[in-house]
Copies of this chain bind each other. A is one copy, B any other.
């Protein structure tokens, strides 16, 4: 799992991680169809020859990209867990999330492509992870697990949907309004 971008002389050698990173960017920018070997090779200034040395096929590249995405979620969660107060933690989460249209774009691409069971499974796992993180915060504040779960599904759903509307240009309402409403829905004090 330890792969490095290695640079020798003025010739740079690519790692599988470089390919995965570029693939994730392509996914966010152009959708699953844009995760195509030759265009990404051009973007990386190399050729297919490099790719098929590092990966078995295109599917493996997609999976590597999504693994990267999954790790990003873990990083964000780890960072937010530094915030002791659960209410402030959730508020920071919302602000954080709404400020990251790239992650939202990836989510939409995957939701759209959820007819592919492999894609759906990863998207489901990441969603589940995020929901669990939010639910834990509510439980910390004394909300019973079942109620917390139901509230968190709508809370995270609100984020997804409102981010989608902003992506479409169908909503330019200020973020504070949105955050206040979601916090209220989660039965948390406003920031």
Which residue of B is nearest A117, CB measured? B169
| Interface: A177 (CB within 8 A) | yes
Over the window 154-179 of chain A, the binary record of Cβ atoms lying under 8 Å from chain B Cβ atoms (1 yes, 0 no) is 10111111111101111101000110
A59 CB-CB contact with B under 8 Å? no
Question: Could you tell me if B185 and A111 are in contact, using CB atoms closer than 8 angstroms?
Answer: no
Please give the count of copies of this chain that the complex contains: 2
| Given A151-B181, A153-B173, A165-B160, A112 contacting B115 (CB threshold 8 A) | no
| A interface: dominant SS | helix
- Docked Cα-Cα span, A131 to B173, in Å, equals 13
Kindly state whether residue A78 has any CB partner on chain B within 8 Å. Answer: no
Given A31-B112, A168-B127, A170-B128, answer yes or no on A178-B160 (Cβ-Cβ < 8 Å): no
Chain A interface bracket (under 10, 10 to 19, 20 to 34, 35 or more) = 35 or more
| Residues of B with C-beta under 8 A to A177 | 150
Q: Contact between B170 and A127 (Cβ–Cβ < 8 Å)?
A: yes
Residues of B within 8 A of A169 (CB): 120, 124
A123 at the interface (CB under 8 A from B): yes
Contact of A165 among B29, B112, B153 (CB under 8 A): B153
Q: List 20 A-B contacts (CB under 8 A).
A: A30-B115, A31-B112, A108-B108, A108-B111, A114-B167, A120-B167, A120-B169, A124-B169, A127-B165, A127-B168, A131-B170, A153-B173, A153-B178, A156-B165, A157-B157, A157-B162, A160-B160, A160-B165, A184-B185, A185-B185
Q: A33-B33, A108-B114 are in contact. List 15 more A-B contacts (CB 8 A).
A: A111-B111, A111-B164, A111-B167, A111-B168, A120-B167, A124-B169, A150-B181, A151-B181, A153-B162, A154-B158, A157-B160, A157-B163, A160-B165, A161-B162, A181-B185
